[in-house]
Structure 1
């Protein structure tokens, strides 16, 4: 059986990252390959040793995990509440990875790549997370995400994302060479295809995020009911990356009050029981919610897959790329009305029509499979 090595961001504290990694693996396996994710430690990881310390959490007690905390979470240690619950969250994420994602028992770095790595696999696939984002300083000067250690014919990108609409001038020359070295290129956003075209004159195929390649039943098969009493009642779920504005909080509280809903906040350390849950619980939380309020790309993705009513709030701050990729997703599935600016009545909060999304998903899934079959030379 031919083997594929996935290169992606190894983030044991991000729902979208873990779930896209799993989805990429499963899609590639469905094409008849043996698949594993090659652990890539960046300069930031080397400095904090976060991956090394988190690599073998399976079976450890919460107190033992606490001892392995690194500087990444140092500021939280002064907050007793977070100090007590953060290890539980990290353990949940690592347990998900150990259960569902096949990872290598070794890691590579920009400074250390085994001489025979390029020969260990028949193909290497990079993506689908923001592996090519030039603003990620810990990855910026590593060529690993462009698979330069492997022969060109083995280099494939699967829905890779730049996370930005253009490459800063100081990186244009380097990126032009790196992208030109790829054999088959697919990206996650139209802006990414435009970057590839501008820099290399090559056409990149725009594919949906791999999480959208798996069916609702497939996702529910690895979901897990959270161990929290809150889920006994109807609830409004929130998942916000970054801070919520006072205005948004007021809107959410009013929706919950009018509809007699509990509020569960997945990314808020004050909501302890929700905060410590892993990716499997993330799926169940969204599937069972009466309505989901979020500014997360993967939050919207799973709302569509699980057919849960959702409302998109703008990302606070200056992270325009985050807002634009959600806009692209909403446009693809004709769900532009699900932004908070378009919700004017209480009835609209819950009025969701997903009948048209099935045919769109079918079309996008077929497009992705055709790309991968061509790139991987599958009959």
Structure 2
């Protein structure tokens, strides 16, 4: 049996990452391949060289008078220490849950790869390498890593399966490498229209815009691996899933929705709600499937709402510049499925919050799935 090695983001703390990894694996398996995910251990945090204290906190420290500075800094450091220790404990527990999901559903390699250490045997081990579908080409996260463009492999083995740039523009310092690496891809596809535009401008090539692999699996397939969350509300609930900050105004509006419709609020990704924070990817599926409404700024939050036919509201990501905007992939998603009405700015009253017409979605899904399989069969020479 021929083999494919997936190169993606190995993030054991992110729902969308784990679920897209599983979905990509299942789609490629359905084409008759043995599929493994190659572990990429490149230290991107080191490359990012991020400070442990935020700019906002630094600005606050600068405003403190000399007489109070020692006391204020000591208190800040003390609070940060205990908060970070608590955060570390919860994150470690959450990572454990995500790794358990991974070991149950995703085949990972017994070897790993880094920019400075490419195993000699890896090229001959696989017939093809697939990069995607997560934000592997996002320069802010990955700093233009050549591994994400499969440069270690022969050109005829390099295939992109709906990867995302995650931004609308690529900084100029990455243009030369991105142009070279994208030009050398055997199979070139992306997840959003903005990504196709970036590729066209850099290389002149037309990249196929595909749906995210998570949309390739049926509702029934996803429900078959779902898991009942601990402490899940017995009654109706409003689910929030925000990757960015949540403004006071936004919190107030969400609270009003819940109170007006007698809904309990469940906040994923907020540590103060320990059980919801600890929910694994399989539990996320159940949470979204049975929610009365999902409020989110997450691409995959929108994806699973569409797949599971759950009413949802999409918000712009807080505190992001136009250059670093994450909205392009969500815009493409909503446009593809004609669900622009689910943008928060387009919802005017309580009735519109819950009334969503999904009747046309299946026909679009069928066509997009045919398009994706057509692309994969062509680049894999099936």
The answer to whether the superposition gives a TM-score over 0.5 is: yes
| Aligned residue number for residue 129 of structure 2 | 124
- CA gap 1:28/1:319 in 2 versus in 1, 3 angstroms: farther
Deviation at 1:44?
Answer: 3.2
- CA gap 1:356/1:105 in 2 versus in 1, 3 angstroms: same
| Aligned residue number for residue 140 of structure 1 | 143
| Aligned residue number for residue 288 of structure 1 | 290
| 1:110 and 2:115 are equivalent in the alignment | yes
Counterpart contact for 1:76–1:82, Cα < 8 Å: no
| Aligned residue number for residue 352 of structure 1 | 356
| Aligned residue number for residue 308 of structure 2 | 306
**TM-score of the aligned structures, taking structure 2 as reference length:** 0.88
- SS of structure 2 residue aligned to 1:131: coil
- SS of structure 2 residue aligned to 1:160: coil
Q: Deviations over 1:293-320 (max 9, x none)?
A: 0010000000000000001112111154
Counterpart contact for 1:155–1:184, Cα < 8 Å: yes
- SS of structure 2 residue aligned to 1:96: helix
| Aligned residue number for residue 234 of structure 2 | 232
| 1:342 and 2:346 are equivalent in the alignment | yes
| Aligned residue number for residue 208 of structure 2 | 205
| 1:371 and 2:344 are equivalent in the alignment | no
- CA gap 1:75/1:90 in 2 versus in 1, 3 angstroms: farther
Q: Take 1:168 and 1:31, find their aligned partners in 2: how far apart are those partners?
A: 37
RMSD: 1.8
- CA gap 1:316/1:149 in 2 versus in 1, 3 angstroms: same
- SS of structure 2 residue aligned to 1:38: strand
Counterpart contact for 2:194–2:328, Cα < 8 Å: no
- SS of structure 1 residue aligned to 2:252: helix
| Aligned residue number for residue 16 of structure 2 | 16
| Aligned residue number for residue 326 of structure 2 | 322
Deviation at 1:172?
Answer: 1.0
Match of 1:91 among 84, 88, 96: 96
Q: How many residues align?
A: 350
Q: Deviations over 1:107-146 (max 9, x none)?
A: 110000012211110000000111111222xx32531111
- CA gap 1:132/1:328 in 2 versus in 1, 3 angstroms: same
Deviation at 1:76?
Answer: 7.0
- SS of structure 2 residue aligned to 1:370: helix
Deviation at 1:231?
Answer: 2.2
Counterpart contact for 1:117–1:149, Cα < 8 Å: no
Higher mean C-alpha deviation, range 83-92 or range 350-359: 83-92
Q: Take 1:25 and 1:152, find their aligned partners in 2: how far apart are those partners?
A: 21
Q: Would you identify which runs of 4 or more consecutive aligned residues in structure 1 move more than 4 Å?
A: 45-48, 74-77
Deviation at 1:166?
Answer: 2.3
Match of 1:262 among 251, 261, 264: 264
- SS of structure 1 residue aligned to 2:152: coil
- SS of structure 1 residue aligned to 2:316: coil
| Aligned residue number for residue 82 of structure 1 | 87
Counterpart contact for 1:152–1:181, Cα < 8 Å: yes
Higher mean C-alpha deviation, range 146-155 or range 340-349: 340-349
- SS of structure 2 residue aligned to 1:232: coil
- CA gap 1:365/1:236 in 2 versus in 1, 3 angstroms: same
Deviation at 1:80?
Answer: 6.1
Deviation at 1:83?
Answer: 4.7
- SS of structure 2 residue aligned to 1:135: helix
Q: Take 1:338 and 1:199, find their aligned partners in 2: how far apart are those partners?
A: 33
Counterpart contact for 2:219–2:307, Cα < 8 Å: yes
**TM-score of the aligned structures, taking structure 1 as reference length:** 0.89
Q: Take 1:76 and 1:103, find their aligned partners in 2: how far apart are those partners?
A: 35
Q: Deviations over 1:64-96 (max 9, x none)?
A: xxxxxxxxxx96753565354333211111100
- SS of structure 2 residue aligned to 1:159: coil
Counterpart contact for 2:163–2:189, Cα < 8 Å: yes
- CA gap 1:232/1:217 in 2 versus in 1, 3 angstroms: same
Q: Take 1:91 and 1:150, find their aligned partners in 2: how far apart are those partners?
A: 32
Q: Any unmatched runs of 5+ in structure 1?
A: 49-73
Q: Any unmatched runs of 5+ in structure 2?
A: 49-78
Q: Take 2:316 and 2:199, find their aligned partners in 1: how far apart are those partners?
A: 27
Q: Take 2:11 and 2:321, find their aligned partners in 1: how far apart are those partners?
A: 20
- CA gap 1:155/1:76 in 2 versus in 1, 3 angstroms: farther
